[in-house]
Amino acid sequence: MTVNAREFDVIVIGAGPTGENVAARATKGGLSSVIVESELVGGECSYWACMPSKALLRPVTAVAEAKRVAGAREAVTGAIDVAAVFERRDRFTHNWEDSSQVDWLNGAHIDLVRGQGRLVGKKKVEVSSGDGTVALSARHAVVIATGSEPAVPPVPGLRAAKPWVPRDATSAKKVPPALVVLGGGVAGCELAQVFRALGSQVTIVEMATRLLVSHEPFVGDLLAEAMRAIGVDVRVGVAVKSAARSNGGGKVTLGLGEGAPVEADEVLVAAGRRPRTHDIGLEAVGLEPGNWLDVDDALAVKGVEGDWLYAVGDANGRALLTHQGKYQARICGDGIVARAKGNLDGSAWSKHQATADHVAVPGVVFTDPEVAAVGLSLAKATEDGLRVRAVDFKIGDVAGGSLYGDGYTGCARVVVDEDRRVLVGATFVGAGVSELLHSATVAVVGEVPLERLWHAVPSYPTISEVWLRLLEAYGL
Ligand SMILES: Cc1cc2nc3c(=O)[nH]c(=O)nc-3n(C[C@H](O)[C@H](O)[C@H](O)COP(=O)(O)OP(=O)(O)OC[C@H]3O[C@@H](n4cnc5c(N)ncnc54)[C@H](O)[C@@H]3O)c2cc1C
């Protein structure tokens, strides 16, 4: 039953970080906007992904770092206080309550309709909830910002074994005595370290030959070494073949392609994501439900006439990261305003084109050691046909690194495009490297020539001096 019909300039489906940002930019540009949300305003990132996982990791890395500094090490005598860690995490997730984000929407003059949003035609969305149905129509644009959800691989018995997905791990109230993590990607590695530090016996099973396999090869090797040093059983190049939970919610046993089966109290599936696009009415506008939404650089969905349907964030599959989705959202929101005024700038690197998606996506893995990378790995650059050269340097050999922690272990690599003499990629592994990453992102996005980068002098004695050593190693 339709109880309400309303018209806005822009309708955004999904109030995660990307949906909020599209609506904010559209509203700032003078358009009216409404957000449709079926769960909590703030999305996966605020309640089940980035914020809780980083809140859980921070005490773990803080303790690990203190233990690597003689003098400080002696002050760290007890175990991590698990209850305090969970309590701090709960503060960051506002106890899974979204009133502060709703206040933010109100302050930004963005309307909110709660319920499940579905496209029902061109520029038309229906929202259903326990209170009935709201029919929304858009004068200019509809933006899909519905995010992604965990993909559970088709391993026999796995679904029946009631596995954890990242949400269960990031909102956990108890630490399982034994945890097996299926997947050695970003979420799998981060959460494996959390639960190991909080007291679980942890096993990671990864099908690829390395952890974090899409990064430079030394990343997975250094991380596996660090994981093993804290007692994580890392099994790479091993596939999970079967899963079974013993009667009455007992232990889970995973049968592996190689080696003995693993038994644990919980199995965490962190084996990739799929788009949350299967129940949003894509078929009503001629698109296939359940797929990543293919977009152009203005974030307009390809194959839809008239440039009125957009997709930002995880839903378009370009980069499953909050900051990159928010970048797309700013581009998209500004672009919708510009299109409404007839002055969209379609040139690369304009304010209306998400050009950085193709060349400079930064990402941090908040493990100990941290991993921070932007742009292309050596393998990817070579595969793309670039004439490149990689230069490596051990961060422990930089004064700032050795001061940061005794026996500092870490490595940096830059990938240089030999034809243009600019950086196309950079990777850092080591404690405290996440804050180095933006310098590399600026260098890649700015296409700063190596000869000019030479004049960017890093302070002494900081870890950033690795920049100088890398350029010297290159031959400057
Ligand atoms: C464990 C974990 C840790 C992560 N850590 C980081 C990190 O540290 N840094 C980082 O950059 N990224 C991180 N990510 C990735 C990050 O969470 C996502 O990239 C980000 O949340 C995507 O934002 P989004 O707005 O596209 O989607 P989401 O945050 O998923 O928001 C989508 C919203 O849409 C709503 N919705 C969906 N369908 C409908 C519908 N039909 N009607 C109404 N509402 C709907 C959902 O309820 C949700 O609120 C992590 C992911 C995981 C799983």
Alpha carbons 292 and 107: distance in angstroms, whole number = 32
- Give Cα separations from 10 to 110, 124, 475 (angstroms): 10, 11, 53
Q: What is the DSSP string of 354-398?
A: -THHHH---EEE-SSSEEEEEE--HHHHHHTT--EEEEEEEGGGS
* Chain segment 73-98, per-residue pLDDT in tens: 999 999 999 999 999 999 999 999 99
Interval between CA 22 and ligand 1 midpoint (Å): 14
Q: Are 437 and 374 in contact (CB under 8 A)?
A: yes
How many independent structural domains does the chain possess? Answer: 3
* Chain segment 397-424, per-residue pLDDT in tens: 999 999 999 999 999 999 999 999 999 9
- Count of CB atoms within 10 A of residue 403's CB? 13
Strand pairing of 422-430 and 370-375? antiparallel
Please, what is the average pLDDT of the chain? 97
* Chain segment 125-171, per-residue pLDDT in tens: 999 999 899 999 999 999 999 999 999 999 999 999 999 999 999 99
| Residue located nearest, by CA, to atom 53 of ligand 1 | 49
Question: Please, which residues have CB within 8 angstroms of residue 213's CB and are 6 or more apart in sequence?
Answer: 184, 185, 206, 220
Per-residue pLDDT band at 1 (split at 50, 70, 90): low
Q: Do 155 and 261 belong together in one domain? A: yes
Q: Are 115 and 38 in contact (CB under 8 A)?
A: yes
Interval between CA 253 and ligand 1 midpoint (Å): 30
Confirm whether 443 is domain-assigned: yes
- Residue 457 has φ and ψ, to the nearest 5°, of -90, 120
Alpha carbons 438 and 451: distance in angstroms, whole number = 19
Question: Please, which residues have CB within 8 angstroms of residue 380's CB and are 6 or more apart in sequence?
Answer: 425
* Chain segment 251-272, per-residue pLDDT in tens: 999 999 999 999 999 999 999 9
Interval between CA 358 and ligand 1 midpoint (Å): 21
| Residue located nearest, by CA, to atom 31 of ligand 1 | 16
Interval between CA 7 and ligand 1 midpoint (Å): 26
Per-residue pLDDT band at 3 (split at 50, 70, 90): low
| Residue located nearest, by CA, to atom 27 of ligand 1 | 147
Q: What is the distance, to the nearest Å, from the Cα of residue 170 to the centroid of all Cα atoms in its chain?
A: 14
Confirm whether 71 is domain-assigned: no
3-class SS string, 86-139: HHHHHHHCHHHCCHHHHHHHHHCCCEEEECEEEEEECCEEEEEECCEEEEEEEE
Segment 450-470 mean pLDDT: 98
Q: In this structure, what CATH number is given to the domain that contains residue 442? A: 3.30.390.30
| Residue 421 domain boundaries | 369-474
Interval between CA 20 and ligand 1 midpoint (Å): 11
| Residue located nearest, by CA, to atom 8 of ligand 1 | 50
Q: Do 136 and 10 belong together in one domain? A: yes
| Token reading at 333 | 């929101």
Alpha carbons 124 and 134: distance in angstroms, whole number = 11
Q: Do 244 and 160 belong together in one domain? A: yes
Interval between CA 89 and ligand 1 midpoint (Å): 18
| Residue located nearest, by CA, to atom 9 of ligand 1 | 50
Output the pLDDT for position 297.
98
Report which ligand 1 atom has the smallest distance to the Cα of 323: 11
Report which ligand 1 atom has the smallest distance to the Cα of 117: 42
Q: Which of 356, 384, 409 is the last residue of a domain?
A: 356
Q: Do 343 and 377 belong together in one domain? A: no
Where residue 30 falls (left for φ over 0; alpha for ψ -120 to 50; beta otherwise) is left
Confirm whether 89 is domain-assigned: no
Q: Do 144 and 158 belong together in one domain? A: no
Question: Going edge to edge, which strands form the sheet with 240-245?
Answer: 240-245, 252-256, 262-264
Q: Do 104 and 36 belong together in one domain? A: yes
Residues with CB under 6 A from ligand 1: 13-19, 36-39, 43-45, 49-50, 53-54, 116-117, 145-147, 166, 170, 187, 276, 280, 313-315, 320-323, 325
Assess whether the previous peptide bond of 461 is cis (omega < 30° from 0).
yes
Confirm whether 298 is domain-assigned: yes
Output the pLDDT for position 132.
93
Q: Where are the beta strands (DSSP E) in 276-317?
A: 309-311
Strand pairing of 233-236 and 201-206? parallel
Confirm whether 58 is domain-assigned: no
Alpha carbons 442 and 456: distance in angstroms, whole number = 12
Q: Is 427 helix (H, G, I), strand (E, B) or coil?
A: strand
Q: Do 173 and 313 belong together in one domain? A: no
Report which ligand 1 atom has the smallest distance to the Cα of 17: 25
Per-residue pLDDT band at 2 (split at 50, 70, 90): low
Percent of the chain whose predicted confidence (pLDDT) is above 70: 99
Confirm whether 114 is domain-assigned: yes
Residue 310 has pLDDT above 90, yes or no: yes
Interval between CA 148 and ligand 1 midpoint (Å): 6
Alpha carbons 22 and 18: distance in angstroms, whole number = 6
Q: Are 400 and 465 in contact (CB under 8 A)?
A: yes
Alpha carbons 278 and 318: distance in angstroms, whole number = 18
Confirm whether 314 is domain-assigned: yes
Mutate to test the pocket of ligand 1, among 146, 170, 195 (most ligand atoms within 8 A of CB): 146
Q: Do 15 and 124 belong together in one domain? A: yes
| Residue located nearest, by CA, to atom 2 of ligand 1 | 49
Output the pLDDT for position 123.
98
Q: Do 308 and 213 belong together in one domain? A: no
Q: Say if pTM beats, i.e. exceeds, 0.85.
A: yes
Interval between CA 19 and ligand 1 midpoint (Å): 10
Confirm whether 351 is domain-assigned: yes
Interval between CA 300 and ligand 1 midpoint (Å): 20
- Residue 470 has φ and ψ, to the nearest 5°, of -65, -45
Interval between CA 47 and ligand 1 midpoint (Å): 9
Q: Which of 222, 243, 271 is the last residue of a domain?
A: 271
Q: Do 20 and 139 belong together in one domain? A: yes
Q: Which of 217, 242, 271 is the last residue of a domain?
A: 271
Q: In this structure, what CATH number is given to the domain that contains residue 38? A: 3.50.50.60
| C-alpha count within 13 angstroms, C-beta hemisphere, residue 345 | 11
Q: Do 33 and 117 belong together in one domain? A: yes
Question: Going edge to edge, which strands form the sheet with 201-206?
Answer: 233-236, 201-206, 178-182, 266-269
Q: Do 237 and 297 belong together in one domain? A: no
Report which ligand 1 atom has the smallest distance to the Cα of 19: 25
Per-residue pLDDT band at 249 (split at 50, 70, 90): confident
Report which ligand 1 atom has the smallest distance to the Cα of 322: 11
